[in-house]
Structure 1
Amino acid sequence: MQVLITKKTLSKVKTSFGSHLMLARKRELPALRTERADPDSQVQMPLFVL
C-alpha cells in the first residue's frame, strides 16, 4: 500500500511541477516573440512586387 501511495504522490508532484513550468513558459512567450521579431525584421530583406 505504501508503494502505491508513494507512486500516486510522486505523480501529483510531477504534474504540479509540470504545470508550473508550462505557466512560466506561457508568461515568457510574448517577450521571447518580441525579442525574436526585432532581429528578424533587421535581417530579412523586404520583398518588392513589380
Structure 2
Amino acid sequence: MRDDIRSGLRIVGFEKRLTIAFIVSNTNVTILRIFYGGKNWEDEFDTRA
C-alpha cells in the first residue's frame, strides 16, 4: 500500500523488471501504470491518474 502517494495505491514488482501500480475496488482491479527496468517510479508517478 502506498497511500502516501495516492489513496488506495498498491505497488508490486514482477520478475525483477516491472513495477505495476494499481488500485483495487470491490469489483475491479485497475492498473494505473507499468514501469519497466529500474525506472524511479516514485518520481514519475502521475498522482492525477
Structure 1 length-normalised TM: 0.16
Q: Which has the higher strand share?
A: 2
TM-score (normalised: structure 2): 0.16
More helix by share: 1
